[in-house]
Structure formats: C-alpha cells, structure tokens
C-alpha cells in the first residue's frame, strides 16, 4: 500500500508538470501562470482552525482552457505549515472535477503509511451556476500525521449575492468530532456568511478583501476572520 501511494504521487506530480508545460508551449499568449498570496487573521478550513494567529497563504496557479493546476500553502508565525498541490478540470454545464494533495512539511514527504503518513489525497467534485456552488469531496487514504482516516467526506453548499455569500458544510473523518465510543460520525461543521469588498488603490490596482463569520456546531466554536489578497 505504501508503494502504491508513492507511485500515485509520482504520477500526479509528473502529470502536473508535463501537462502545464505542454499546454503553455503550444501558443505564445499572455502568461497562463499567476502568483499571489492571501493574508488572513486566522486560518479556518471547513469550520476548523489550523495553526495560531495570522496566516500567510502563498499560491502559484496555471490555467489554460478547461484545465488548471496549482500549489497553495498556509504558514503562520508559530510553526504551522501546509503545502498542497491540486489539479482541476472544468466540465460542461458548470461541473468540475479535480484532485488535491494535502501535505504537511513538518513530516517526511515520502511517508505514505497509514500510521504516520504526511499526505491526504482528496477527490473534488463541484458544480457552480446562477450564484450557487456545490462541492463534494472524498479522501482516498488514511494518513496519521495528515489526520485523515480514509473515506473522509465533506459536502458544502454556498450561495453568493453581489457582495455577500452564505455557506453550509458537513463532513466526517477529519472534519468532525468522534462519538463518545470513538466511532466516526457525519456532522454539520461549517456554517457562516462572508462579505467581499475591493479597496481601490489606483485606477489599475485594487485589493480584494474578504471577511467571514463562521460557526462550527460540532465543536461549538465560532470564528471571525478577515483577509486580503495580493496578486
């Protein structure tokens, strides 16, 4: 099983780099590559807080036609580290299909074991149309240091207005607290609203700002976060 995940990751990385290079070399157009960073007061993901204090979240992205691939990370000033890779394909009628590799640099990159693995591999299915966004996510493997149990699921619905959006998410595995007997359970873990705004700096440059109020009824925690993006 350990070798299987290692080979899968090598294939994933190879496809990520080759596909990007091949698509980019086909035509001379404005660069499909973008880079930037988010700066947030806290890192909250699917209703759970990761790390301590403000987080810097750099990103690299390649987009061409129906295909995109990227790298995204989150780092704070108290030692939390996360570095993810992803692939995504836009499908007809507003659907999308992708895969994310969640990796935690505190641990050995080539550890794919169940007990101490540092990677969680997730399949992502999405739908977006008329302001409605639906997503379904499924983690393929158990990885002790990544926190996944294998088969972890997360479902989310989001509806966006002009500058306001509402969201509701539920999951099991690493998204929820276990039952008192230690068994896994599916629970609502991410309810909230967000507000987006742009701060105009010059005629050609503005800074997107995002604020969120998030409540996790499963852990009985509420968070208020705000951040901005530079790109």
Look at residues 218, 220, 222, 161 and name the one whose alpha carbon lies nearest to residue 194: 161
Domain ranges (residues) in the chain: 2-230
Distance CA 109, CA 178 (A): 28
Residue with token string 């061409």: 64
pLDDT tens for the chain, residues 1 to 231? 555 555 565 666 655 555 555 555 555 578 899 999 999 999 999 999 999 999 999 999 999 999 999 999 999 999 999 999 999 999 999 999 999 999 999 999 999 999 999 999 999 999 999 999 999 999 999 999 999 999 999 999 999 999 999 999 999 999 999 988 888 999 999 999 999 999 988 888 899 999 999 999 999 999 999 999 998
Relative to beta strand 153-160, strand 164-171 is: antiparallel
> For domain 2-230, which architecture applies?
Beta Barrel (2.40)
The answer to whether 98 and 136 are in contact (CB under 8 A) is: no
In this structure, what token pair is assigned to residue 35? 């880079």
The alpha-helical segments, DSSP class H, found in 31-163 are none
Global pTM value: 0.86
The residue length of the chain stands at 231
With CA atoms as reference, report the closest residue to 71 among 82, 79, 80.
Answer: 82
Q: What is the pLDDT of residue 52?
A: 95
pLDDT at 220: 96
In degrees and rounded to multiples of 5, residue 174 shows phi and psi of -75, 0
Q: What's the confidence (pLDDT) of residue 10? A: 60
């Amino acid at each position: 099983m350990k070798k299987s995940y290692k080979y899968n990751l090598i294939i994933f990385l190879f496809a990520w780099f080759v596909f990007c290079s091949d698509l980019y070399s086909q035509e001379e157009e404005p660069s499909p590559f973008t880079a930037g960073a988010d700066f947030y007061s806290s890192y909250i993901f699917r209703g759970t807080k990761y790390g301590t204090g403000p987080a810097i979240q750099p990103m690299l992205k390649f987009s061409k036609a129906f295909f995109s691939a990227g790298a995204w990370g989150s780092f704070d000033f108290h030692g939390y580290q996360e570095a993810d890779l992803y692939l995504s394909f836009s499908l007809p009628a507003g659907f999308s299909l992708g895969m994310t590799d969640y990796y935690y640099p505190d641990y050995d990159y080539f550890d794919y074991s169940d007990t101490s693995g540092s990677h969680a591999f997730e399949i992502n299915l999405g739908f977006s149309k008329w302001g409605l966004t639906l997503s379904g996510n499924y983690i393929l493997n158990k990885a002790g240091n990544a926190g996944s149990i294998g088969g972890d699921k997360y479902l989310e619905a989001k509806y966006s207005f002009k500058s306001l959006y509402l969201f509701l998410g539920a999951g099991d595995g690493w998204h929820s607290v276990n039952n008192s007997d230690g068994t896994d359970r599916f629970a609502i873990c991410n309810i909230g609203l967000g507000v987006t705004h742009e701060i105009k700096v010059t005629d050609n440059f503005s800074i997107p700002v995002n604020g969120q109020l998030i409540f996790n009824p499963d852990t009985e925690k509420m968070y208020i976060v705000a951040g901005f993006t530079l790109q």
